[in-house]
Amino acid sequence: SFPHSCSTLGGKIAALCDSFTSKSLKEHVFPPLIDMLIYFNFFKAPFLVDLKKPELKIPHTVNFYLRVEPGVMLGIWHTVPSCREEDAKGKDRCWYEAALRDGNPIIVYLHGSAQHRAASHRLKLVKVLSDGGFHVLSVDYRGFGDSTGKPTEEGLTTDAIRVYEWTKARSGITPVCLWGHSLGTGVATNAAKVLEEKGCPVDAIVLEAPFTNMWVASINYPLLKIYRNVPGFLRTFMDAMRKDKIVFPNDENVKFLSSPLLILHGEDDRTVPLEYGKKLYEIAHNAYRNKERVKMVIFPPGFQHNLLCKSPTLLITVRDFLSKQWS
């Protein structure tokens, strides 16, 4: 009846009010704020890009979607090696999928926070890798670009695992490398640790501008440094990080890995300072039984956080390391 419906609705509203007022303002504000600062996925630049048409941004590339779990569909661009550009003309997704078995190595690219797979610095890296003979799968995690779902650490980790497993199932004996940049380094090591525990260590891992863990990286993030001296800020900030289970513990994950691990860092990276990359390398080198499987390369000033792709030595550095590990 109408009176009964009103009573039910009133009860729900009262319950919501009780739920809201029973929590402090910081409990309502901080977790969403933390999500915003960590993932920045609401900033979907470049704008007005049709992610279904990658060919308008980069050649010999196809767009497709991968369902990783109910309600979560990931948008992915597959760019084939430039040497296959002529072969790729006019081909559909099925051809691209079959091409994963052509013997050219494959990189699953896990980007950093903000923007999406069409961001200019990401496209520049993809072009460098494609020209160097790599397939590149550029993944937008849940909640990024046109991918559905809401980003969480567990969710992004699941996304990376599913894409890696999907790729391995189609690549035959062709090796597949997880490449993480910034936030993506935490996603990569999280996924690699899970796969290691499953008895399926990834073929290789490249960490570009990595941090030790998100707690340390966040409190030193330029946007947050100005608030560090505000009474109670750091404690409230850390409580919110724990509540949302945001850690991305690269420093702990690398202790359990056996995959070839290449760490790349720029000297003048102010977003994730070089000291974090050096510390992570030290932890990994100490933990790995086979020390030759861990390497760090430091790039001279000029490339900052996002532009190692402009270094003339990047491609040869990556190819030399992977070819040695995969020989």
Active-site choice (113, 171, 269, 311) = 269
182 counts as catalytic: yes
34 with 237: CB under 8 angstroms? yes
- Please name the residue that has the structure tokens 């290691």: 196
Query: Is residue 179 within 8 Å of 107, Cβ to Cβ?
Result: yes
Task: Check if the beta carbon of residue 120 is closer than 8 Å to that of residue 114.
Answer: no
Q: Is 60 a catalytic residue?
A: no
Report how far residue 197's alpha carbon sits from residue 15's, in angstroms, rounded to the nearest whole number: 43
Task: Pull the structure tokens for residue 32.
Answer: 């969403």
Ranges of beta strands (E only) in 227-312 are 261-266, 294-299
Return d(Cα 261, Cα 283) in angstroms, integer.
Answer: 12
Active-site residue, selected from the candidate residues 203, 265, 305, 311: 305
What letter represents residue 145's amino acid?
A: G
Which amino acid would we find at residue 293? Answer: R
- Rounded to the nearest 10°, the torsion over CA 217, 219, 223, 228 is -160
7: its two tokens: 């009573």
- Do β-strands 61-69 and 72-79 pair in parallel, antiparallel, or remain unpaired? antiparallel
DSSP string, 37-48: HHH-TT--PSTT
Using DSSP, state whether 265 is helix, strand or coil: strand
Which CA distances in Å does 242 have to 39, 173, 211? 16, 40, 18
Backbone angles phi, psi at 83, to 5 degrees: -65, -15
Q: Is 209 left (phi over 0), alpha (psi -120 to 50) or beta?
A: left
Catalytic hit among 182, 218, 259, 311: 182
CA 133 to CA 135: how far, in whole Å? 7
Cite the active site residues: 182, 269, 305
